Structure formats: structure tokens, C-alpha cells
Amino acid sequence: MYGAPERIELKSTEQILLMRQAGLVVANALQAMSEIAAPGVSTADLDAVARDVLADAGATSSFLHYDIGSGPYPAVICASVNDRIVHGIPSPQELLADGDLVSIDFGAIVEGWHGDAAVTVLVGDVSPEARAMSDACRESLWAGLAAARVNGRLTDISHAVESSVRKAGRYGIVAGYGGHGIGSSMHMAPHILNYGKAGKGPRLTHGMALAVEPMITLGSQRTQELDDGWTVSTVDGSWAAHWEHTVAVLDDGLWVLTAQDGGREELSRRGVAVSALAA
């Protein structure tokens, strides 16, 4: 936040195409994990599925051995159950139960280019409140993505996420965590807050790629890090949801690189153009 802003990496068409390959690996893995998530399945079982998808695709993990100062991350996914918000470490001891929410976050690298996305999966019969919160989080993700455009400003996205969440209900918008630029590394400039005024921050230009990732809770926005040095949970024990996509901002429209359909369905519904590159 201080001094000169870090420059935002601009991608060539070739680089965006590699990021799309990474994005499709991420989409496939998240779908495979969503399909097996059920009572009695462990979060380590989910991680094993993601490892298989990586191996089959000849891709590598964005997360494995990632180090933000608490030592190398030991898995290829983050699995955050119920009151855990993000960065939960999968474990064979952690079994999903009927009614749980599990947020699964996954990143893949193809020829040096990253894709990053997350979904919140409902395990069995989930309460209407928790289900509505996950739906509100997903909706706010698409509202944020749809607000990105060449010549727009970064906080147009933040503002769209916040407005969407506030419209949906009385949810906590997690403080201190947010989205990020992505490309030749997973986490790059700029940081993308999930709240704030529109029309501020860097101007968006052709070739930027952004990971938009709202995190909301049924209670307060306050977070705590657990003793494992990674897992972030709510302080009040309220449940949380987390949805994320990587989007490319291009002159002729957007391309949601981690969505199977490139974002076509959700963007079209919101009157937003999809880049011809996505065809």
C-alpha cells in the first residue's frame, strides 16, 4: 500500500492460452473433487484426486511447497471445512460429514503459467442458511468478475463483490484476505479487496489476469490463524464460504480461464462480452 505500486504483469496471447490450459486442469480437478465429496470421505482423499488430475495432465501444483513464511505447504489443495475459511490443510483424519461445507481451493501450473480457483461444496443435506451463504458467495464472485473490463479500474471489482454480498443478506465479508494478480506466479500484484468504493486503483488493461475470490461468513468478518500456521478460521465459529476464478481481461471481453465454459453462461446473463479467444 506504500510507495510505488508494483507493476501488473501483462500476458501475450500465447501466455493466456497456456493459462487457459492450467485453468482447465483446475476446472477438471475441482469438478472431480466436488463429485466425490460425501460423508466419510477425507479431505486427504480430495487431495489425492487432485494429484491424479495433475499427473494425468502433465501439470504441476501451484500450492505444493508454497512458502509464505510458515514452512512449505504440504498438499496440492486447500480444504477448509465449516468454520475454516481458507488454507485448510487436507488430512486423512478429517472426514467429511453430512451437512458440512467444504471449500476446496486448487492451483495448477502448465509450462510456468498458473490457474487458481475455488468452490464451496455442500456435503449431503446442508442447512438452508449455509446453502444460501455459499450461493451468495458464488454470486458475488460472478458479480466481481463481470465488473472487470479494459479501461475500468481495479476496485470496480471490489465494489461489485461487496454490493452483491450486501444485497444477498447479512454476511461477514472476510477482512485481510482477497484476490490477486496471477500469471507467471500464483500471487502477484495487484491485491484485490472484496469491498470498497468503485473507480479506484490501477486501470485494467488488455492482458491482465486476476484471481477474484470472495470469502464470506454467517457471522463476523474476523479471522484467526490456527496453530498449523496455515488454516484460517472465523473467530466466532461461524461457517464460511469461498469461491474463486481466474479471469483474463482482454480488449474484446473477458475469459474466465478456470471455468469449463470460459464463463460464457454467467457473463452472458450479465450482459458482459466473452473474448473471441474463448471460442
Given ligand MF3, Co ion, none, residue 195, with its beta carbon under 5 to 8 Å by kind, binds none
Q: Which of 28, 27, 45 is nearest to 36 (CA)?
A: 45
Q: Is 47 near ligand MF3 (CB under 6 A)?
A: no
Residue 162: how many other CB atoms lie within 10 Å: 22
Residues of span 205-224 touching ligand MF3 by CB under 6 A: 211
Question: Binding of ligand MF3 at residue 156 (CB under 6 A)?
Answer: no
How big, in percent rounded to 5, are the helix, strand and coil portions of the chain? 30, 25, 45
Closer to ligand MF3 by CB, 66 or 95: give it: 66
**8 Å CB contact between 54 and 67:** no
Q: Is 171 in the site for ligand MF3 (CB under 6 A)?
A: no
Among 23, 90, 107, 183, binds ligand MF3 (CB under 6 A): 107
> What distance lies between CA 166 and its chain's CA centroid?
19
CA distances 218 to 100, 164, 177, 186, Å, are: 14, 15, 17, 28
Which residue in the set 11, 20, 63, 256 belongs to the binding site for ligand MF3 (CB under 6 A)? Answer: 63
Q: Is 73 in the site for ligand MF3 (CB under 6 A)?
A: yes
Q: Which is nearer to ligand MF3, 103 or 238 (CB)?
A: 103
Q: Which is nearer to ligand MF3, 231 or 238 (CB)?
A: 231
- Among residues 179, 184, 185, 196, which one has the least CA distance to residue 247? 179
- Specify the DSSP class assigned to residue 85: E
From the list ligand MF3, Co ion, none, which binds 87 (C-beta under 5 to 8 Å, kind-based)?
Answer: ligand MF3
Note whether 87 binds ligand MF3 by CB under 6 A: yes
Q: Which is nearer to ligand MF3, 63 or 255 (CB)?
A: 63
* DSSP string over 106-144: EEEEETTEEEEEEEEEE-SS--HHHHHHHHHHHHHHHHH
Residues in touch with Co ion (CB under 5 A): 116, 211
Q: Which is nearer to Co ion, 159 or 242 (CB)?
A: 242
* Minimum CB distance to ligand MF3, residue 74 (Å): 9
Q: Are strands 179-181 and 240-242 parallel, antiparallel or unpaired?
A: unpaired
Q: Which residues bind ligand MF3 (CB under 6 A)?
A: 63, 66, 73, 78, 86-87, 105, 107, 116, 211
